[in-house]
Amino acid sequence: MSKLDRWRLVLGKYADQRLCGSNGILSDNSRRMDGALEFLYGREYKGRGLRRELEPGTLDPSQLTLVTWLSEVRELFPNDTVEVIEKHALDRYGITELVTDPKTLERLEPNQQLLRTLLTLRGHLKGEVLYLARRIVKQVVDEIRHKLESEVRQTLSGRLNRNKHSLVPIAQNFDMLGTVRKNLKHYDVDRQKLVIEQLLFFERNSRRLPWDIILCVDQSGSMVDSVIHSAVMAGILTGLPAFRVKLIVFDTNVVDLSDHIDDPVEMLMRVQLGGGTDIAQAVRYCTQLVEIPHRTVFVLITDFCEGASPGELVRAVKKLAETRIKLLGLASLDGQAHPAYDRQMAERLATCGMEIAALTPQRLAHWLVKVIS
């Protein structure tokens, strides 16, 4: 961003003509930042008694709402700036409808964007609003889980055993050729039709000795989508007999949420989004959780932007790799898998033996199958 853009964002829209004439100066991204700042700090003009100007009609995107504004701010600005802006919104300008007024919250459409916002402001939620927020979190989490669970369970429930049939009729395990062969003796020559008296379904191989899955999730503000999907995936995986799952979240502190792993809503309501990032400390903690190295998968979900010493992180991952466990670094666990991460740090960890990828939850399930097969 140019110095002129920075000054324009600081001074506001009334500085346009003095800085660069009537045509304006801002790039597309800077214009989005200006709109987010204007949504909040434009209230200063009203507070000083200045009349709001009528603006001509345009083809600009839809106006920001409180929820979309909060999401926009977190996408456009660094974490320390976001904290200042949100503090101003709540304390200086009294924009507290979302965290104090149940009627306002009830009118909002439950979706992942609202879930992000509620998790971001969780520390301000109290009383009836907190109860309503939990209900919204549960509704959105259940929707995400419904989309993921069937495919993930099918992927991870074991490979088909084509030498053995099951008495349990599961559509995905249907043995079409075996069913035809089994019922050929019932072929009706006159009607030229095969009469099916018995359907055959393959068994799936079960993995008797479970694998330990350690999910280590960065809970900084930029990773909110990954935190949501990690909580849901942990709940799905822990319901499968083939896995024992632990979930660790971290910023500059490490929090073990494994005791709440069967309740994604409770896990999410305990997450503290924001703050710094000490990945090395989290990796060292997870190293202590390893019991059977050759049957353990460690999944680090982060943007790899280490706030502590990069050298400490490299040493911690090397030490973990020496135990011969399976290592995966996920740059994103978002449903859209849009990776944004420190590629240089990721490359350094890859040289230590950590596989680096940007995977949707479905693709993570396929990766796990490949690793443990």
E strands, the chain, in order: 160-166, 187-188, 193-194, 201-204, 211-218, 243-250, 254-256, 296-301, 326-330, 355-357
CATH number at residue 260: 3.40.50.410
Q: Is residue 103 part of a domain?
A: no
Element (H, E) at 20: helix 16-20
Let me know whether 223 and 363 are in one domain: yes
Q: Is residue 276 part of a domain?
A: yes
Let me know whether 228 and 344 are in one domain: yes
Domain of residue 21: give its range.
Answer: 3-95
Q: Is residue 102 part of a domain?
A: no
Please state, as a whole number, how many other Cβ atoms lie within 10 Å of the Cβ of residue 78.
10
Q: Is residue 133 part of a domain?
A: no
Q: Is residue 149 part of a domain?
A: no
Let me know whether 345 and 284 are in one domain: yes
Q: Which two tokens stand for residue 240?
A: 């499968």
Number of domains in the chain: 3
pLDDT truncated to tens, each residue of the chain (373 aa)?
A: 777 778 878 777 777 767 665 445 677 788 888 888 888 888 776 655 444 454 443 434 455 677 778 778 888 888 778 878 877 887 777 777 767 788 878 877 788 878 888 888 887 888 888 999 999 999 999 998 888 888 787 777 655 445 556 555 666 667 888 888 888 888 888 888 888 888 887 665 555 568 899 999 998 867 888 888 899 999 988 888 788 999 999 999 999 999 999 899 989 988 877 778 999 999 999 999 999 999 999 999 998 999 999 999 999 999 999 989 999 998 865 545 567 788 999 999 999 999 998 887 778 888 887 877 6
Q: Which residue has the tokens 């998968």?
A: 297
Q: Which two tokens stand for residue 319?
A: 């030490």
Let me know whether 164 and 217 are in one domain: no
